[in-house]
Amino acid sequence: MKAVKYTKDGVIIPSSWVKGWGKPVSVRRGAHMVILESPERQASRQRLAGMIRKLRRAAQDLGPLSPEQIGAEVATVRAERARRS
């Protein structure tokens, strides 16, 4: 942490910490943190957030599932995965 410099405007970190992430690096400031991420990581995080939103929306539309329905869905997914491997 000796390489980090604290100024009245913020924190300066060495560029070597983000080398290998690609040329552009996205920098965002949260409440008590600074978030550094590559464009690929940002896109991946946004895709995951979108999938989670869709999943939550679909779950609300379906309503509560019975244990039999859950078992049937699990069996279907396992069968599909078994065919792929």
The token pair that represents 12 in the structure block:
């300066």
Domain borders along the chain are: 22-79
Any alpha helices (H) in the chain, and if so which ranges? 39-62, 67-84
The token pair that represents 34 in the structure block:
């600074």
Tell me which long-range contacts 77-80 makes (C-beta under 8 A, separation of at least 24). none
> Is the Cβ–Cβ distance between 7 and 19 less than 8 Å?
no
Q: Quick check: pTM over 0.85? A: no
Element at 65 (helix H, strand E) = none
Q: List the chain pLDDT tens, one digit each, 85 residues.
A: 577 787 777 777 787 777 777 778 777 877 788 788 888 888 898 999 999 999 999 989 988 888 999 999 999 999 999 988 7
